[in-house]
Homo-oligomer: A and B are copies of this chain.
């Protein structure tokens, strides 16, 4: 019943035909040896791991959950063994630098890998989810001795990592963090404080756990400019247990198999990573990758929900359809024939295929930002990815959750029942709209920090770069042209409003992000249609890609109107009263 068929063919189509990544790889020495067949073989292996090892642990892991037993976190049955086999397969090192033991493959393939892991088992995927972020932070900011001690074990996956940021009074506002770090004579730090919502703060998957803890040195300035980052391992180099303990596990709506820890550091020994008071800067290195990663969670959930709902709807017989299959005489048709279900199922599939293009494009730009031999190209790719990242994070997670809810509806009453799987997807998918910067924070990042800070100039250049996909004289071309025009008009009206009404952009940032999300879908669908027309080997399969893209333009894209309208109106907003 509930199972995962990795969309390997669709993934290859996006990577090879839509994004034309193999040509880009050839222009980057780091990936010059990689070809599409090799990449496809890597993804096929990942798909087997996701379907055969991870997915069967998903439902049982949800029911068993994590437990805190005498101060130690016990993960659900099978989680630790799955981690061991993931490490054995070399997966943690996939996109790490060969200089430090990595396989040096593109982030693009890592993105496809993580989409599959999340589709199969979000809770389990939380454990490696922060590994790459920790890797990047240490690679860029740790002193050589620290880096040598910790980085290889993180690259191999022998040790896992945790990011310890949030405190009860400091959620979205990290400037309110209070955890203290006191210098010790040997140059290390004694870290003291309480953290909450620490994913993988403790568990039984790896021997050691490397915490990156946001804290304050003595006499640090108040607010975000007084934050430092410390590496605090569960076990110290001499093998002794560090003075840190998991105080409790959160009882969450979903991802029960992921240990969400309250951590207490009682003078735990750690080492500074990066400059004093520059802890946020050290963390920003990993921000784009981490937010893209959360966006991929949205895509993974949407794909899983859509494919399972589709399978169910093709089998479940209820009522005769208004237009029946030729020759139908049974008492009932598959519900997939009923117009309401058809619309839902095709919308979910169209959005999943469009979002995959957008999310993988972000990963590909990150690859170019890091690995392109030309500095100008690196800079341009970084700027492109910077716009895409908050949109992928917020828009894809929005769709992961909404798509799960639409898919649940396809299952009717069974959708509400545990055994059918979809209700877990709905519960698991909800967290992704919150963590790694709430979706509202992403919207502010996109509109206030990245777009309006320079009056919209860079954003408009970015729109110009998307425009070539709109040149076709067809539904796709005109849909994207409309979106580009709407985005420019919305930006223009905000520029006009802002001087007299500085709050205006803050009121409509969410709509601006949603508008841009739809614009990116229009862009993706146009590119899918173009690529599909080039495909010669299986015309029916390619035509279905174009047909789904066309469905998206007709049925999903109209939603953009509301968002652009609200941005342009930027209506006033009264106070909330008790």
Binding site for B on A (CB under 8 A): 166, 169, 171-173, 175-176, 196-197, 222-223, 250-254, 310-311, 313-314, 317-319, 322-323, 331-332, 336-343, 345-346, 401, 405, 408-409, 412-419, 423, 426-427, 430-431, 433-435, 438-440, 443-444, 502-503, 506-507, 509-510, 544, 547, 551, 554-555, 558-559, 561-562, 565-566, 569, 571-578
Contact = CB atoms under 8 A, between A and B. Distances in A.
Contacts of A433: 409
Contact of A573 (B314, B342, B562, B577): B342
A222 B169 CA distance: 64
A379 B77 CA distance: 62
A86 B408 CA distance: 34
Nearest to A569: B554
Given A341-B576, A554-B571, 17 more contacts: A172-B412, A176-B331, A223-B331, A252-B418, A253-B417, A322-B506, A337-B575, A338-B506, A340-B507, A341-B440, A346-B576, A415-B434, A416-B431, A416-B434, A555-B573, A558-B566, A561-B565
Contacts of A419: 251
Contacts of A313: 576
B173 A318 contact: yes
B409 A438 contact: yes
Contacts of A346: 573-574, 576
A405 to B, nearest CB: 7
18 contacts: A169-B317, A171-B414, A172-B318, A175-B319, A223-B331, A250-B416, A250-B417, A251-B418, A253-B418, A253-B423, A342-B574, A345-B576, A408-B430, A408-B434, A413-B435, A558-B565, A558-B569, A561-B565
Contact of A172 (B319, B343, B561, B577): B319
A414 B250 CA distance: 10
A578 B306 CA distance: 11
A332 B173 contact: yes
Nearest to A564: B558
B566 A253 contact: no
A495 to B, nearest CB: 17
A49 B362 CA distance: 54
Contact of A571 (B405, B555, B559, B569): B555
A342 B574 CA distance: 8
A144 B435 CA distance: 61
A337 B96 CA distance: 43
A245 B439 CA distance: 48
A441 to B, nearest CB: 9
A430 B405 contact: yes
A82 to B, nearest CB: 24
Given A323-B502, A417-B251, A574 B561 contact: no
A417 B569 CA distance: 36
B409 A439 contact: yes
Contacts of A171: 318, 412-414
A177 B418 CA distance: 24
Given A318-B176, A323-B502, A332-B173, A413 B197 contact: yes
A573 B554 CA distance: 9
B506 A544 contact: no
Given A346-B573, A506-B340, A409 B434 contact: yes
A346 B576 CA distance: 7
B173 A319 contact: yes
A51 B471 CA distance: 61
